[in-house]
Amino acid sequence: MEGACHMVLCTCPDQDTALNIANALVDNKLAACVNIVPGLHSVYRWKGARENAEEVLLIIKSRADDYAPLETTVRALHPYELPEIIAVPINTGLPAYLAWVGRRGEDE
């Protein structure tokens, strides 16, 4: 759907990784904005064992039609064997903000 936006969630192992991915996405106009949220504690099962990890969450606002190159960029820069990359459609929001996301963060 043309003009559609989504929010992509991605956990990272540390601040440096998160900042590297965020900068790449914004610099390559694959995201209008990336929030970096520190202090995330994750509990999950991996390879048969329960794991606990301190992580950093990326909240990426992007155009839906930019998802494929966004995913490729994240996977290339992410150290995890299986990174969390989850796209959630944005069904409604402040129209001016969503228009800005649709312009990939560029001013009119």
Residue pLDDT, tens place only, 4-34: 999 999 999 999 999 999 999 999 999 999 9
| Domain CATH number, residue 83 | 3.30.70.120
* The predicted structure's pLDDT at residue 3: 78
- Backbone dihedral angles phi then psi of residue 10, each to the nearest 5 degrees: -150, 125
Number of helices and strands in the chain (H, E): 3, 4
pLDDT digits (tens, 9 = 90+) for 61-104: 999 999 999 999 999 999 999 999 999 999 999 999 999 999 99
Between the CA of residue 82 and those of 1, 2, 11, 28, 100, what are the distances in Å?
28, 29, 11, 23, 31
Whether 52 maps to a domain, the answer reads yes
How many domains is the chain partitioned into structurally? Answer: 1
0.85 exceeded by the pTM? yes
Whether 46 maps to a domain, the answer reads yes
Whether 15 maps to a domain, the answer reads yes
Distance CA 74, CA 24 (A): 9
Q: Is 82 helix (H, G, I), strand (E, B) or coil?
A: coil
